[in-house]
Structure 1
Amino acid sequence: MADELIMPKVAWYKRKLVWIIVLLLVCAGGGAAWWLIPSSDSVEAAPVVDNRALYVGLSRPFVFSVSAGRRERLVQVELQLMVRGEAGETKAKRHLPLLESILLTVLSRQSADNYLSAEGKQGVRQEALNELNTVLTEELGAPLIEKVLFTGIVMQ
């Protein structure tokens, strides 16, 4: 009879011990997860890089004369500058008078032949891009303009 009374108590203690062990494992797992997984406060958000292509229009078309053999021809060129991100657009707009001056110098020293062929236009665009970025590197410490785009050319 004494064995019958002891057996239920032992089974009850075993069940209680199993529940305590399970509870300790759950608490330990939660503590480990809290320790290993950083909270949202401690994680620094990666800076968002604005790399969109934006286009800066110039205040007016460029009008100038170029030599075409023995005569002068009048040229009107409209163009836009491609930059990356709003910061690049802001910097380009801030330096717009400087950029327009450089572009007028580059565009007006060309011959009429450079505006008649695709290769000539590409050469003018590349020369303008190089000169713009050379000056901007001196001013800002880095090139800013990605492309010079002709949006209109009229020659008389």
Structure 2
Amino acid sequence: MAKDTKNAQQPAAADAADPQVVAKQKRKKLILIIGAVLLLVGISVGVTLTLLSVFSDAPAADAEAASEAEPTKQPAIYYPLSPAFVVNFEDRGRSRFLQAELTLLLRDPDVPKALDMHMPAIRNALVMLLSGQSFETLQTAEGKEALREQALVKIQEVLQQEIGKPGIEQVLFVNFVMQ
């Protein structure tokens, strides 16, 4: 039996010297190392995603709080001034006519009531402004833009005087005919 234990030990020693056995052991170690690296990378990605989701919720809450603190821009309200304005003016001895349809852009829902109440003063200011224009000036795009800006100022002046705020953002020409 003593011979059996000797023979059993000899194959183990012989296996250690065998290059195929050594290569298999190296492959096993390599597979274990690659598996461990992949496991660590997976854990790292999972922790990173978890931390990002935790920290990304905080800025979203801050953004919501900031947006609640800022006043939100109210939707546009378009207020047509009707009937259309028709004025006449002289151009080189000829009588000329201007028909202009205006619409006001505003955002405050209380302003239309004020516009209704003070419409005679607003229409008067606009008629005086429109009738004081020259035909040559209004033929150009720059002249029409300048008239639009002057009309905005006139209406804002009336509203500032009557209700204490400008009330409107823009005056828009929706129809503009000269003859």
Structures share fold, TM-score greater than 0.5? yes
Give the AA of the match of 2:75.
Answer: R
Give CA deviations for 1:69-117 in whole Å, capped at 9, x if unaligned: 2322111111111111322233223322221121111111111123211
Partner residue in 1 for 2:115: 92
> In 2, are the aligned partners of 1:55 and 1:89 still within 8 Å (CA)?
no
In the alignment, the residues of structure 2 paired with residue 127 and residue 67 of structure 1 have an alpha-carbon distance, to the nearest angstrom, of 20
Amino acid at match of 1:65: N
Whether 1:145 and 2:168 are equivalent positions in the alignment is yes
Alignment-derived partner of residue 135 in structure 2: 112
Partners of 1:88 and 1:53 in 2: how far apart? 12
The percentage of counterpart residues that share the same residue type is 37
Query: For 1:56, which of 64, 79, 98 is the aligned residue?
Result: 79
AA aligned opposite 2:77: L
Which structure has the larger Rg over C-alpha atoms? 2
Amino acid at match of 2:93: R
2:102·2:172 contact (CA, 8 Å) conserved in 1?
yes
Report the Cα distance in structure 1 between the residues aligned to 2:79 and 2:87, rounded to whole angstroms. 21
Higher mean C-alpha deviation, range 80-89 or range 139-148: 80-89
TM-score (norm 2): 0.56
TM-score after normalising by structure 1: 0.63
- 3-state SS in 1 of match to 2:110: helix
User: RMSD over aligned Cα, in angstroms?
Assistant: 2.0
User: What is the alpha-carbon distance in structure 2 between the residues aligned to residue 53 and residue 59 of structure 1?
Assistant: 19
3-state DSSP of counterpart to 1:107: helix
Task: Pick 1 or 2: higher relative contact order, CA cutoff 8 A, min separation 6.
Answer: 1
Match of residue 79 from structure 1: 102
Residues 88 and 98 in structure 2, CA contact (< 8 A), matched pair in contact too: yes
3-state DSSP of counterpart to 1:56: strand
SS in 2 for 1:60: strand
Q: Residue 84 of structure 2 contacts residue 99 of structure 2 at CA under 8 Å; is this kept in 1?
A: yes
* 1:91 alignment partner AA: A
Unmatched segments (≥5 aa) in structure 2: 1-67
Cα pair 2:108 2:167 within 8 Å, conserved:
no
Structure with more helix by fraction: 2
